Structure 1
């Protein structure tokens, strides 16, 4: 009887541990779907990441820099791009700076935070990469194109990790 009780307690503790979120990750959740489809990159000590994409009209690269802050939100740090035209900021708003450095436009922000943002992974074969911890994650190759993805920082449980798909980066 005592062994059965201990076994039951151990089983309950293992089940609880299986569902407790402990692993912080950058999570890309597909939007506009009834199923929970998500991809993730485990977050380590490094808190900065970058999204680089080729602008579909200008055909030049846009680099967006972000930081994961203590409360799990995402801070927009800066954006660097070459062309001022359709879809690109042409001036600074409050608490931002806008300047031209080495032939590129740099928009920097001190206090822009969000819980998440959305990226569209178009089927046009242009660059869409996420850079984190000295690795490049080619989103065109690793997540389905033609879909939008909400990017957020979340804690995942072991059960979540089994349901999602880990994205592998290259050096």
Structure 2
């Protein structure tokens, strides 16, 4: 009789605890792409605090690449620490602000030490010139095109969050 009660308690505990774990316990930090201003996860990139990623887009006027470099903070914010571009134009910086460094290296302009902290970012996949890319990993070894995951013209709220198993199952994992 005691054995049956123990087994029954184990089964009931599992049935109660598993859903709690599945729906409420975060298991993976990720850069999450939410569709527009919704809670619908369109895609996510698993990442850890301190790791970096880049968003590269082709400027719609001068049609050259702009590289925005980001790092994930310990408190799940996004820190922009550098921007790299080839030509001055609309929306491009022309100098560095206090504490930043403006340099010309290997044929490109770099604005370093930006220290721009964002709780989230709103990003639009290019509609006219749809050549956005996401780069990550050691020595920037991984790269995917936004168009592999999103439609041209789509826009997203991008956040760093700790996702549960349920959220991981609902979204599309970005991988190369």
TM-score w.r.t. length of structure 2: 0.86
Q: How big is the alpha-carbon RMSD for the aligned residues of Structure 1 and Structure 2?
A: 1.9
1:7 to 6, 11, 23: 11
Matched, 1:30 2:50: no
Which digits, 9 at most, give the CA deviation of each residue in 1:125-169, with x for residues without a partner?
432101111211211222222211122211110110111111222
Q: Which residue of 2 aligns with 1:147?
A: 154
Q: Which residue of 1 aligns with 2:92?
A: 88
Q: Which runs of 5+ in 2 are unaligned?
A: none
Q: Which residue of 1 aligns with 2:105?
A: 101
Q: Does the 8 Å contact 2:29/2:46 carry over to 1?
A: yes
CA distance in 1, matches of 2:69, 2:77: 14
Q: Which residue of 2 aligns with 1:123?
A: 127
Q: Which residue of 1 aligns with 2:71?
A: 67
Runs of 4+ in 1 over 4 A off after TM superposition: none
Q: Which residue of 1 aligns with 2:142?
A: 135
Instruction: Figure out how many residues of one structure are paired with residues of the other and give that number.
Output: 168
**Greater Rg by CA:** 2
Q: Which runs of 5+ in 1 are unaligned?
A: none
TM-score w.r.t. length of structure 1: 0.88
